[in-house]
């Protein structure tokens, strides 16, 4: 009795035998993996556009972009740092500066007009930068990027998120909430 091995099975075995020695030689050069925070207040950063309303002064009420330095160029008070602040804290900072000689008892409110984008790459229809929508999950982000490719891992993704000046990485499920500025990597599944 003879045992025939299919050419495809033989190819897979040979490929595995060639890759295993290389895997043993590889050093650990991957970034550290940390749990990616799911909650917490949204903080402003470069790329966000905020709508600022100064009640009683329509000339100052407008949409303002957070620049590369993390500032908003606001009339009368000039560049004001808002990076890392919530909209509530940023509006309080602007009100404080306006109260210092420009407007008596300013009433300032702020909301997000446009969130900074998220990025997606890997095994999706079209990798790139996309506008964030509040409450978006990894699954929705993948749909926005044209869905999975045929070889995509359809169970999990890797999310890279800036946090306190460092990039953190986590492998998460498809219903994980993403945030603006996240980079989502859809990996391919193993054969």
Q: What is the CATH number of the domain that holds 82?
A: 3.30.1950.10
H and E: helices and strands count for the chain: 3, 10
Strand partners, 186: 122
Residues 53 and 76 in one domain: yes
Tell how far CA 34 is from the center of its chain.
Answer: 15
Domain count, the chain: 2
CATH of the domain at 154: 3.10.560.10
Residues 130 and 164 in one domain: yes
**Model confidence at 51: pLDDT above 60:** yes
Phi-psi region of 122 (alpha: psi -120 to 50; beta: other; left: phi over 0): left
Provide the H-helix boundaries in the chain.
Answer: 7-25, 87-99, 138-144
* Residue in this structure with the two tokens 């070889």, named with its chain if needed: 151
Structure-token pair, residue 113: 């007009």
Residues 151 and 93 in one domain: no
Strand partners, 49: 65, 114
Contact 123, 148 (CB under 8 A): yes
Q: What is the pLDDT of residues 106-157, one digit of tens each?
A: 999 999 999 999 999 999 999 999 999 888 999 999 999 999 999 999 999 9
Q: What is the pLDDT of residues 54-69, one digit of tens each?
A: 998 889 999 999 999 9
Q: According to the model, what pLDDT value does residue 186 have? A: 95
3-state secondary structure of 86: coil
Residues 170 and 182 in one domain: yes
Domain span at residue 153 reads 118-186
Measured CA to CA in angstroms, residue 76 lies from 45, 58, 105, 137, 168 at distances of 22, 14, 15, 39, 38
Residues 77 and 89 in one domain: yes
Q: According to the model, what pLDDT value does residue 64 have? A: 96
Residues 6+ apart with CB under 8 A from 70: 44, 45, 46, 81, 82, 83, 84
Q: According to the model, what pLDDT value does residue 17 have? A: 58
**Interatomic CA distance for residues 130 and 142, integer angstroms:** 10
Tell how far CA 161 is from the center of its chain.
Answer: 6
pLDDT band of 34, cuts 50, 70, 90:
very low
**Model confidence at 173: pLDDT above 60:** yes
């Amino acid at each position: 009795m003879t045992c025939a091995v299919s050419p495809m099975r033989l190819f897979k075995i040979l490929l595995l035998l060639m890759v295993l020695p290389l895997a043993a030689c590889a050093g650990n050069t991957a970034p550290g993996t940390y749990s990616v925070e799911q909650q917490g207040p949204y903080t402003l950063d470069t790329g966000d556009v905020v709508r600022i309303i100064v009640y009683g002064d329509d000339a100052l009420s407008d949409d303002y972009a957070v620049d590369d330095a993390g500032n908003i160029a606001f009339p009368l008070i000039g560049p004001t740092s808002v990076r890392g602040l919530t909209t509530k804290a940023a509006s309080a900072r602007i009100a404080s500066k306006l109260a210092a000689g420009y407007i008596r008892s300013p009433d300032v409110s702020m909301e997000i007009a446009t969130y900074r984008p998220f990025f997606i790459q890997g095994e999706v229809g079209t990798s790139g930068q996309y506008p964030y929508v509040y409450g978006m999950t990894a699954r929705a982000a993948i749909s926005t990027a044209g869905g999975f490719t045929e070889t995509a891992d359809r169970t999990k993704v890797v999310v890279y998120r800036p946090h306190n000046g460092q990039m953190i990485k986590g492998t998460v499920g498809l219903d994980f909430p993403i945030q603006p500025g996240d980079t989502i990597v859809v990996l391919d599944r193993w054969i």
